[in-house]
Amino acid sequence: QVQLVESGGGSVQAGGSLRLSCVGSGYYLSSYSMGWFRQAPGEEREGVAAIDSDGRTYYADSVKGRFTISKDKAKDTLYLQMSSLKPEDSALYYCAADYHKSPQYGGSWLGSNEYVYWGQGTQVTVSS
């Protein structure tokens, strides 16, 4: 059974940085596409960044140049390095994983409906 556990969230002032981690078990990280999503209260879940099984990365326009997604295959860990954080980045951040080689719906790995497995989330709060 695939399990995903996020960590690294916290409170930070605007302009600061955080690195989120997502440790996976029950699957081979290198063969899965993975993504980071976030959801603020009253908002829909949105895709932030994704990395497919071939290592290609995808970013939401709102985080390009500030966030970097990466994975450490040896540690079965997905990361999201977040820099120049803004108050509007505050949300519950989730990691997700899927075993398909290409998106099945909508054509983008930033779509939440592309993922089968989800973590419980880690909270990020950015104060101004």
pLDDT tens string 81-103: 999 999 999 999 999 999 988 89
The one-letter amino acid code at 73 reads K
- What's the pLDDT at 1? 83
What contacts 17, CB < 8 A, 6 or more positions away? 81, 82, 83, 84, 85
By mean pLDDT, which of 21-35, 48-62, 78-92 is the weakest? 21-35
Cα distance between residue 114 and residue 25, in whole Å: 19
Distance CA 119, CA 128 (A): 28
Task: Specify whether the CB–CB gap between 34 and 72 falls below 8 A.
Answer: no
CA dihedral 112, 117, 120, 123 (to 10 degrees): -40
Q: Does residue 106 surpass a pLDDT of 80?
A: no
Report residue 74's pLDDT band, with 50, 70 and 90 as the boundaries: confident
